[in-house]
Amino acid sequence: MGTPLHGVSASPGIVVGTAQILRWEVPEVPVRVIPDEAVPAELARLHAAIAAAVDRLQQCKARAQQNAGPAEAAIFDVQVAVLGDEALTGGIEALIRQNLGAEKAVELVFLEWRERFTRSTNPLMRERAGDLVDIEIRLLSILLGLPDGDPIAAGPDAETILVTHDLTPSLTVQLDRASIRGIATDAGTRTSHVAILARSLGIPAVVGLIDATSRVQTGDRVILDATNGELVLRPTAATLARFAERAQEEAAVRSELASMTTAEAVTADGVRITLRANVDLPDGVERLAASGAEGVGLMRTEFLVVGRTAMPSEDEQVEAYRAVLEAFPGQPVVIRTYDVGGDKLPVGGFPHEPNPFLGWRAIRMCLDEPALFSVQLRALLRAAVHGDVRIMLPLVVGVDEVRQTRYLLREAAAELARRGVAHRADVPVGIMVETPAAALTTARFAEAVDFFSIGTNDLVQYTLAVDRGNAALVTRFTPLHPAVLRLIDGTVRDAAAVGRECSVCGEMASQPLMAYALLGLGVRTLSVSAAAIPVIKRLIRGVRLGAASAAAQAALVAPTAHEAERGLRQSLSEALGAGVTDGLLGLS
Amino acid sequence: MIERMVAVQNAHGIHARPAAEIVKVAARFSSQITLARDALEVNAKSIMGVMMLAAECGAQLRIRADGPDASDAIEAIAALIASRFGES
């Protein structure tokens, strides 16, 4: 197929193109001593190089203005000003007058200035050192007659895949969307500058390839499979054809995803699915409302207490809930009560525990601290005046926990009535099904709850006895384990039998393969992270529940999670096509 | 010679772009112009110098000018810093 290099996907997509190596490193500079009579010519050479660099920077600025905007282009004004600064050029001239070649003079003076900036304790100053490197590379390249590695050199029709060690901000703003199809870098992570920029511009990018710049040559035909984090060198004709087809399908998926905010979440065989959003913080919730979510399936409230110095007041909580409710007028907003251990609370005196995930946390801690819990319950009843609040209790293992909460809710309503504060007493109450105990006894909860919501992350953790935060156990954390699927299947059936809504609000619902399994198991309401909404909506619109159900039944009896996953993936590929499936899986 | 104290008001302080703007304005005047923060005094026509000030939001700067157009120069640079360089 060709030689694949493995890196990290920074911005998804598949492109075929011609590699262009961009070297942007400070070149090696020879020491050269010049005779006295050569000094004037050497000074002239320096000034000619500075003039050429300024010229080039003006072109770069124009290019950046067009591609990125005036704020980004301003960086080149700074570089021009530096080249015009006599504090700098004067130092270079002085060294040339002492018979040093211009290149070495430039290097020494830049080194001195860079050190001054790097030594500073002020982060603003240390960033400036990076700007100086850019200017130095440009000036030295001109003096040494090195090829111009600017991305500006690529023609408009060149299907360029830029291969470089790393991209500095000043290089990236010049990138020409019309000629650059993809970016591959030796350095970088998913959160580095180049990755963030590539995602915002929608350019496929693979970072962290380690030695791509020494394995690839300018002019090589390459495939950048940024969905899977690979750069394929010198691909065979068959590989090229296969990737070209996948690239076309993925491109179609991406442009389609953009249109998903207004599309209805209906399966190909006409069943309406409810798609809600998970909310961690009230900030930015308006954007979430615009993403096409039909309400909030899980609003976490931990932000109200974790990392603070005092517990939030009733009024403060009402405002936080109200902000979310007003962003989703007339739509359900499921708010989960505190899901933390005592050690996360701003009020002290709680011991650290050897086994916190099996410890005094969530509903257990809340019921043992009724004064603290009642503030939250009163705030929720008051907020319910502004929208469709539903209260969800975490880590429930028994019906008595719901009964006690309902008792506290009646007390909370009575106190609000006594105070004459507007509130609603009839707010629906449900539980998170995230322990095997709750999953196995779903039907017994019917008398006490109005709805169920499966929290998959904790359900997987408690079912498989695998700590989800332990990096050494990552491969053992398998949501498609037959035991997990059986518990979900049982919960969904029992909830339907007693006539209660059962949604899924865990991470699992945000992953296309898992979402497909959940639809197959009969789940009709999913709550997913905001970023996953278009992906999951596209999946819903492309699948038939009959096929999903058959695939889910096969997964239920599969011996291992791996085999369950393979079957689901195959069924999904048959429904959507391999390219669309890969595209959706890559985007999630 | 005249001088005036000003406070940096834009949130990101005198980073590269504002430094370039100060140098551009200073270059229009024939007077000698300096900016000082505490004991560090730099040439306002040198971007390297101005950047060395590392003046963050709230920093107090002394503008000093000596020459035929000194008062205009101080006026122009103080106005630029007060304008927050078009930032918030």
DSSP string, A269-324: TS-B-EEEEEES-STTHHHHHTTT--SEEEE--GGGTTT-SSPPPHHHHHHHHHHH
A140, two tokens? 């030295």
Overall number of domains in chain A: 2
CA pair distance A12, A254, nearest whole angstrom: 10
Overall number of domains in chain B: 1
Residue A17 lies in a domain: no
Amino acid code (one letter) for A4: P
CB A490 within 8 A of CB A549: no
Residue A166 lies in a domain: no
Query: Which of B13, B17, B54 has the CB atom closest to A78's CB atom?
Result: B17
A323, two tokens? 């902000």
A86: domain CATH number?
Answer: 1.10.274.10
Digit-coded pLDDT (tens) for B27-79: 999 999 999 998 899 999 999 999 888 888 889 999 999 999 999 999 999 99
CA pair distance A158, A163, nearest whole angstrom: 14
> Taking CB atoms and an 8 Å cutoff, what residues of chain A touch B19?
78, 81
Q: Does A125 touch chain B (CB under 8 A)?
A: yes
The ipTM, to two decimals, is 0.86
Q: Is residue A47 pLDDT above 70, yes or no?
A: yes
Q: Is residue A587 pLDDT above 60, yes or no?
A: no
Digit-coded pLDDT (tens) for A495-511: 999 999 999 997 788 88
**Confidence band for A119, pLDDT divided at 50, 70 and 90:** confident
Average pLDDT over residues A3-26: 85
* Chain A nearest C-alpha distance from B17 (Å): 6
Domain that holds residue A379: 273-529
Q: For B24, which residue in chain A has the nearest alpha carbon?
A: A81
Amino acid code (one letter) for A342: G
Q: What is the pTM of this model?
A: 0.58
* Chain B nearest C-alpha distance from A59 (Å): 18
DSSP string, A418-438: HHT----S---EEEEE-SHHH
Residues 6 or more apart from B8 whose CB is under 8 A from it?
Answer: B14, B55, B56, B57, B58, B59, B61, B81
Beta strand A221-225 pairing with A14-22:
antiparallel
Considering the domain architecture, whether residues A139 and A277 belong to the same structural domain is answered as no
**Confidence band for A197, pLDDT divided at 50, 70 and 90:** low
Residue A431 lies in a domain: yes
The pLDDT, as a whole number, for residue A492 is: 97
CA pair distance A347, A366, nearest whole angstrom: 13
Residue A191 lies in a domain: no
Beta strand A429-433 pairing with A388-393:
parallel
**Confidence band for A59, pLDDT divided at 50, 70 and 90:** confident
Residue A99 lies in a domain: yes
B51: domain CATH number?
Answer: 3.30.1340.10
B15 is catalytic: yes
A309: domain CATH number?
Answer: 3.20.20.60
| Sign of CA pseudo-dihedral A416, A421, A426, A428 | negative
Digit-coded pLDDT (tens) for A383-431: 999 999 999 999 999 999 999 999 999 999 999 999 999 999 999 999 9
Q: Is residue A121 pLDDT above 80, yes or no?
A: no
Q: Which residues of A are catalytic?
A: 193, 505
Residue B27 Cα distances to A37, A81, A154, A242, B43, angstroms: 33, 11, 36, 60, 11
Catalytic residue among B4, B12, B15, B84: B15
> Taking CB atoms and an 8 Å cutoff, what residues of chain A touch B49?
85, 87
Considering the domain architecture, whether residues A138 and A279 belong to the same structural domain is answered as no
Domain that holds residue B80: 2-86
Residues 6 or more apart from A457 whose CB is under 8 A from it?
Answer: A434, A468, A506, A507, A508
